[in-house]
Amino acid sequence: MAEEDDFVEDDLAAAWGEAMEEQGVGDAETLTAQWASMMDGSDEEADGAGQNSDRLMNQDEIDNLMGFRVDELLLADQSGVRALVNSALVSYERLPMLEVVFNNLVRLSTTSLRNLTSDNVEVSLASISSVRFGDYLNSIPLPAILSVFRAEEWDGFGLITTDSPLIYTIVDVLLGGGRGMAAARVEGRPYTAIELSLVQQLVERILRDTEQAFEPVAPVHFKLDRMETNPRFATLIRPANAAILVRFRIDMEDRGGNIEFLLPYETIEPIRHLLLQMFIGDKFGRDLEWESHLATQTSVAQIQLDAVLFEKDIPLEEVLDLEVGQTLLLRKSPSEPVELRVGNITMSEGQIGRINDHVSVQVTRNLKPQRMTMEGYERAIAEMEGGSP
């Protein structure tokens, strides 16, 4: 096999040499030069590819490559595989009272911010959605100020995010900036103490309005815990845990921005049964009016009461042998009590008698008490657990 391969290679080399001799030496040199230039071009392309590989893609290029944007993922309707991935999230629509509370917050904050800024302020509810906490932190556009607050009665935390346009708008308005002018934005520097102080006034005012909005449902006190500019330092719960994200739009004439209110489900769990109400005052479980109606109708209900004189089990064979005129002996004296039954349940006992032309039964014992009292139940549980009754 090796010798045959050598012969094939020699034949190909000879054919290649004859072709080169027929074309001439100049053509061979031209072909060699073209081959060399092609090799040089491939090297340059490889170098260019290496240089391009060092360039980092921006966020828009990454979103286009992945086929979605993080902010659109949080707000848009999800379907397919993405819906299966996020199926563990609980929709806020299962807590209808939340929308009522936040609509009240829009009304209260509009009046409150007008008094704070002495300007025409319009607050609108943009959206309410359920998100994972980690995805939300990664989607916050920086720079921003994140205010962590504590719900004292619920023993939980929440987060308020103020975006950069709203921060500079508040600073410009509170410091006497001219109307009809866009707020100046200076990027690439940390927020000053004055800016943080002004934003703190805004956040505290919104927290007080939120307390008033929640008061008809469940009184609560919100206390500002800290303010952060790095989302890493504003971690409240695990990244995979679910939370409710409420986005508000605040407009002051031709300027404004967004403020986002995030409540983890762990925080609102103590009042979840109240947030399930369709409207304020809706009752769940025990209803006193229905209990009174049920008790009234139960007391006037009619039942059939049977007085059982004697009862005995006999074989079917004896029943089939019964004849007309045969006497059945009731082994019971007139002085013995009879059972008073409702269906198959024995309710009481009585003494049979006669009043005029009617056979009567006099009740001699109260209704049959329940077999297990609460005291007996607790004693049985204590005995099962090995404790003293």
Q: Record the tokens describing residue 380, joined without a space.
A: 């049985």
Paired residues of 263 in beta bridges: 244
Residue ranges matching CATH 2.30.330.10 in the chain? 302-315+330-385
Write the pLDDT tens digit of every residue in 348-374: 888 888 888 888 888 888 775 656 666
**pLDDT, tens only, 80-135:** 555 555 554 555 557 788 888 999 999 999 999 888 888 888 899 988 888 888 88
Instruction: Name the architecture of domain 302-315+330-385.
Output: Roll (2.30)
- Assess contact for 93 and 128: CB atoms under 8 A: no
Please list, in sequence order, all residues whose beta carbon lies within 8 angstroms of the beta carbon of residue 127, skipping any fewer than 6 positions away.
75, 245, 246, 247
Residues of CATH 3.40.1550.10 domain(s) within the chain?
92-275
Predicted local distance difference test score (pLDDT) of residue 150? 93
pLDDT in tens, the chain (389 residues): 545 555 545 665 566 566 555 555 445 556 556 555 655 555 555 455 445 445 666 666 666 665 555 555 554 555 555 555 555 455 555 778 888 899 999 999 999 988 888 888 889 998 888 888 888 988 888 888 999 999 998 989 999 999 988 888 888 888 876 665 555 555 667 888 888 999 999 999 999 999 999 988 888 999 999 999 888 888 888 888 889 999 999 988 778 889 999 999 889 888 888 887 776 555 545 567 777 788 788 878 888 888 888 888 888 888 888 888 888 777 777 788 888 888 888 888 888 888 888 888 888 887 756 566 666 667 766 776 664 44
User: CA distances (Å), 298 to each of 99, 182, 302, 344, in order?
Assistant: 40, 72, 9, 20
Nearest to 92 by CA among 245, 212, 254, 280: 245
- Helices (DSSP H) in 145-282: which residue ranges? 164-174, 193-214, 265-268, 272-275
Handedness of CA 307, 313, 317, 322 (dihedral sign): negative
- pTM greater than 0.75 (yes/no): no
Is the domain defined by 92-275 classed in CATH 3.40.1550.10?
yes
